[in-house]
Chain A
């Protein structure tokens, strides 16, 4: 499976929000985004901006670290915002209903290493890296056949 990769640089939280919004426009039910990056890299900020950009009336998007999952109704269907930081057994993934959601909803997953081999094959990886001050390097990568065409034009969002 060959991979398609896009590298962007964000210079501010607002810039990151713009990129998140542009990516959000490309998503549909059954898409799964896996967010990687250390604490403070901006994973939650990215997810919040993406979710709110899909809503007619943007609502609160609190951190799902303690609640594990928050779900939202959006114009593009149901969105699951998950933080698997507190999960320690892949068995619990199924208990959360996440495997079903992978097929029927848009899933945004923070700390996806907890998924083990349960991560969908066609998931899109979004890696955020702290490049000093407000700058973040954002790398978006996924299966070429699944994503190359759909992600066309996304680079403009970082301008």
Chain B
């Protein structure tokens, strides 16, 4: 990107409300400020993340976040060249709050407006953090998503495969709950797995026997539940070591599935074109075992591996600002007619992933 731009990014599509200021100078992006509110709403008592779903809550926080981001950046609204807002997919109330706020801001100040796909924000993050060149292969793996994307341009995403049921982050959370571990489940299972034997329990590797890059994690959770119940039935409880072994077995299964499917996604990408590297994003990328398993696959193919810092892997507005900037430079614009889209698949041309059902895969 050769145009110098200062972008205000806004994100409110799920639990968090976020605002960020990103500046692009001589083609290099710099995050001047990134404010995320709502992550304090982690309540172990409820066995999961308590969502700030209320549109009202987002609406109340958006102006505060924006003011805080501008202040941290040392800028005021007239310094901003573009307002980029997540306009989908996500919870309609939250997305609408963000879009309305951004429209108001743009109309009142005369600054151009652009609506950004939340998933495009994640998918373009390796360019924000590492200036990764197109085309690259992206694994987006989080609480709500799991998909392989071949990213060829700022608006070109080809989905090579994804989960047909649960996302791995969700499987970690639910497994932690089944084993009486704290939430969020990812770090809890990872810590417990450290002292466990991954080979003691034979857990399935769903869909590994099938061609392609689709994945399934729902059956793994059910298998874990059965193994737990069998242990409880024969010992009247769960030994601490058994719990560690179950966690280790579960984590190893997730690692195996993700790395084998990544291997296939790389091969599939390479049949189409040369790729510059492999990138991963999403909260699950914070898991060290998973990260090193994926890294190992990248080195098998002699490809660079990029994993942005966790603060930019999870929901944030800097990625929205950056993705908006790339699309703006490419000529896209939105006006007052911008609408919130609760459903907005990144790749609307690839065949859908089918789940268990008449025509689908067996989970």
B-binding residues in A (CB < 8 A): 13-14, 16-18, 20-21, 39-40, 44-45, 48-49, 52-53, 57-63, 65-72, 85-88, 91-92, 95-97
Contact = CB atoms under 8 A, between A and B. Distances in A.
B357 A52 contact: yes
Given A48-B355, A53-B357, A39 B14 contact: no
B362 interface: yes
B92 interface: yes
B249 to A, nearest CB: 16
Interface stretch (B49-57, B126-134, B324-332): B49-57
A39 B178 contact: yes
A65 B144 CA distance: 7
Nearest to B162: A60
A29 B62 CA distance: 35
Interface string B291-309: 0000000000000000000
Contacts of B196: none
A55 to B, nearest CB: 9
Q: Which 9 A-B pairs rank lowest in CB-CB distance, beginning with the nearest?
A: A66-B144, A40-B222, A49-B357, A48-B355, A59-B352, A66-B143, A95-B54, A17-B357, A63-B166
21 contacts: A17-B356, A20-B357, A39-B178, A39-B221, A40-B222, A44-B166, A45-B218, A48-B355, A58-B352, A60-B355, A63-B144, A63-B170, A65-B143, A65-B144, A66-B14, A68-B91, A86-B50, A87-B51, A88-B50, A95-B53, A97-B93
A120 B178 CA distance: 30
Nearest to B169: A66
Interface residues of B, number: 48
A96 B358 contact: no
Contacts of A92: 51, 53-54
Contacts of A53: 357-358
Given A62-B144, A86-B50, 20 more contacts: A13-B363, A20-B357, A21-B357, A39-B221, A44-B166, A48-B355, A49-B355, A52-B357, A58-B354, A62-B145, A62-B162, A62-B166, A63-B166, A63-B170, A65-B144, A65-B166, A68-B91, A71-B343, A92-B54, A96-B91
Contact of A58 (B48, B163, B359, B363): B359
B220 to A, nearest CB: 10
Contacts of A87: 51, 53
Contacts of A18: 358
A40 B53 contact: no
Interface in B336-363: 342-343, 345, 352-360, 362-363
Contact of B358 (A17, A65, A67, A68): A17
Contacts of B342: 69, 71
A67 B343 CA distance: 11
Contact of B167 (A13, A14, A62): A62
Contact of B91 (A39, A59, A67, A72): A67
Contact of A68 (B51, B164, B221): B51
Interface in B146-182: 162-167, 169-170, 174, 177-178
A63 B225 contact: no
Contacts of A63: 144, 165-167, 170, 218
A49 B358 contact: yes
A72 B359 CA distance: 18
Nearest to B343: A71
B54 A66 contact: no
